[in-house]
C-alpha cells in the first residue's frame, strides 16, 4: 500500500528541536501509525531561523490575534514567524499532504487552547499557534489534529478515518476526471458518510444525482468539501447503530430469524456501550462474505482503515460515563 503523507511537528518524532534541546517523541505516532504513513516534519521555530537551544516564547495580547514574544528578552517574533509560515505553507502545496499532526500547547504549532498571556501576565487557554493558524487557513479541508487529542480513542479513529478516506479520494482525483469515477467512490462510501452525518448523506446524494448538470470541476470541488465536512463530524453509537440496522435490510432474505435476532441484540449491546464497534462489524462482515452481498461487500464502512490499528476495539465513552455516574 502506498503510504499516506502527513505533516508533523518535528519534535514529536524525537528530534531534539525544542527550545531546551529536548524532544517530545510520541511512540503512538512513530511506532503504530508510522507503519502506514510517511511523515514530513516541520519545526516552525527552527525552520524560521531560531536556534537550539533558544529562549522560550509564548503568546501575548488579544487571543484572536496574539503576538509571539520571547519570555525574558520580550523580542516580538510574530512577523518573522508569520512571513516564514506563509512561504512554508505555499511549499507544502506540492507535498500532497493528507493531514497534519501538530504539537499541542505550542505557541507556534498548537492548534487550539494554547495559553495567551494578557497584560497582567495571566494566561487564558484560548490561542492558536502562529504556524498552526496559517496552516489551517491555507488548507481548510486537510485533517489536522494534535498529539494530545490523538490519545483519545474516538478522536484518533475520526482523524485516521479522515486521512485514509482522503487518500482514497485523492486516488480518484489522480485518475482521469470523470463522473463515473466519482459516482463509484460515492457508492462505496455511502454508509461511511451516513455513519458521520445523515444530513450530509442526503446532500451528497442530491449532488451526485445532479452529476450531469454541473461542470466536472465544480462537481468535484463541491463533493470534496462536503466529504471533508462530513467526516469531521463525529460518529456516535446511535449513528453507527442506525447504519448497522440499515445494512441488515440488504440481507433480510438470506438471514434466518435467529440470525436477525442475534444481529439486533449485538447492535443493541453496542448502542448501550457494552461492546465495541468491532463486534457488530465483524458479525456483519461474516454475513456479507457468506452471502456475497455485492453492495455491502464494497462498502468502505466495513474497512475504513487497517484492522491492525484496532481503532474500533474500544467500547464507547457512554459505558465509562455510566460507570462513573454509578460509582459517584
Residue from 78, 98, 108, 195 in contact with ligand SF4 (CB under 6 A):
108
Query: Distance of CA 19 to CAs 58, 60, 107, 147, Å?
Result: 12, 18, 12, 18
By beta-carbon proximity to ligand SF4, the closer residue of 58 and 305 is 58
Report the 3 state secondary structure along 95-120: HCCCEEEECCCCCCCCCCCEEEECCC
Q: Applying CB under 6 A, which part among 105-113, 161-169, 232-240, 285-293 lies near ligand SF4?
A: 105-113
Of 20 and 93, nearer to ligand SF4 (C-beta) is: 20
Is 127 near ligand SF4 (CB under 6 A)? no
Query: Toward ligand SF4, which CB reaches closer, 80 or 232?
Result: 80
Per the listing, cell 510520541 goes with 26
Q: How near is the Cβ of 77 to ligand SF4 at its closest, in Å?
A: 11
Classify 204 as helix, strand or coil: helix
Under rule CB under 6 A, residue 194 binds ligand SF4: no
Q: Does 103 bind ligand SF4 (CB under 6 A)?
A: yes
Quote the least distance from Cβ 41 to ligand SF4, whole Å.
Answer: 8
Q: Which of residues 41-70 bind ligand SF4 (CB under 6 A)?
A: 43-46
* 104 forms part of the interface with ligand SF4 (CB under 6 A): no
Site membership for ligand SF4, residue 136 (CB under 6 A): no
What secondary structure, in 3-state letters, does 146-165 show? Answer: ECCHHHCHHHHHHHHHHHHH
23 contacts 115 by C-beta, under 8 angstroms? no
Instruction: Please measure the distance between the N-terminal and C-terminal CA atoms of the chain and give it in whole angstroms.
Output: 48
Identity of the residue, 17 or 37, whose beta carbon is nearer to ligand SF4 in the bound complex: 17
Q: Indicate whether 281 belongs to the interface with ligand SF4 (CB under 6 A).
A: no
Q: Toward ligand SF4, which CB reaches closer, 146 or 161?
A: 146
**Residue 6 host element (H or E):** strand 4-9
Q: Is 114 in the site for ligand SF4 (CB under 6 A)?
A: no
Question: Which one among 4, 6, 18, 117 touches ligand SF4, defined by CB under 6 A?
Answer: 18
Q: Which residue has the cell 456483519?
A: 284
Taking the CA atoms of 232, 238, 242 and 247 in sequence, report the sign of the dihedral they define: positive
- Residues 300 and 165: their CA atoms lie apart, in Å, by 9
The footprint of ligand SF4 (CB under 6 A) covers 9-11, 17-18, 43-46, 103, 106, 108-109
Amino acid at each position: 500500500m502506498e503510504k499516506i503523507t502527513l505533516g508533523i511537528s518535528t519534535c514529536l518524532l524525537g528530534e531534539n528541536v525544542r527550545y531546551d534541546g529536548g524532544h517530545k517523541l510520541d511512540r503512538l505516532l512513530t511506532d503504530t501509525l508510522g507503519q502506514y504513513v510517511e511523515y514530513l516534519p516541520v519545526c516552525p521555530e527552527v525552520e524560521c531561523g531560531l536556534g537550539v537551544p533558544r529562549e522560550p516564547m509564548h503568546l501575548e495580547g488579544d487571543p484572536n490575534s496574539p503576538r509571539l514574544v520571547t519570555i525574558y528578552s520580550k523580542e516580538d517574533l510574530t512577523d518573522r514567524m508569520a512571513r516564514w509560515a506563509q512561504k512554508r505553507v505555499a511549499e507544502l502545496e506540492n507535498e500532497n499532504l493528507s493531514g497534519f499532526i501538530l504539537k499541542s500547547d505550542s505557541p507556534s504549532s498548537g492548534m487550539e487552547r494554547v495559553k495567551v498571556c494578557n497584560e497582567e501576565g495571566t494566561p487564558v487557554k484560548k490561542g492558536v499557534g502562529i504556524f498552526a493558524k496559517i496552516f489551517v487557513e491555507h488548507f481548510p479541508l486537510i485533517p489536522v489534529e494534535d498529539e494530545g487529542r490523538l490519545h483519545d480513542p474516538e478522536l484518533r479513529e475520526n482523524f485516521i478515518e479522515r486521512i485514509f478516506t482522503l487518500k482514497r479520494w485523492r486516488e480518484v482525483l489522480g485518475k482521469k476526471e470523470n463522473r463515473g469515477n466519482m459516482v463509484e467512490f460515492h457508492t462505496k462510501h455511502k454508509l461511511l458518510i451516513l455513519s458521520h452525518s445523515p444530513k450530509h448523506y442526503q446532500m451528497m446524494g442530491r449532488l451526485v444525482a445532479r452529476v450531469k448538470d454541473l461542470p466536472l470541476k465544480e462537481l468535484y470541488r463541491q463533493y470534496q468539501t462536503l466529504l471533508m465536512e462530513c467526516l469531521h463530524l463525529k460518529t456516535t453509537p446511535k449513528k453507527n447503530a442506525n447504519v448497522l440496522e440499515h445494512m441488515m435490510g440488504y440481507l433480510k432474505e438470506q438471514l434466518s430469524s435467529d440470525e436477525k435476532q442475534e444481529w439486533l441484540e449485538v447492535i443493541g449491546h453496542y448502542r448501550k456501550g457494552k461492546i465495541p464497534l468491532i463486534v457488530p462489524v465483524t458479525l456483519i462482515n461474516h454475513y456479507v462474505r457468506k452471502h456475497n452481498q455485492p453492495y455491502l461487500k464494497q462498502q468502505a464502512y466495513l474497512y475504513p482503515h487497517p484492522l491492525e490499528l484496532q481503532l474500533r476495539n474500544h467500547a464507547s465513552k457512554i459505558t465509562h460515563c455510566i460507570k462513573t455516574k454509578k460509582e459517584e
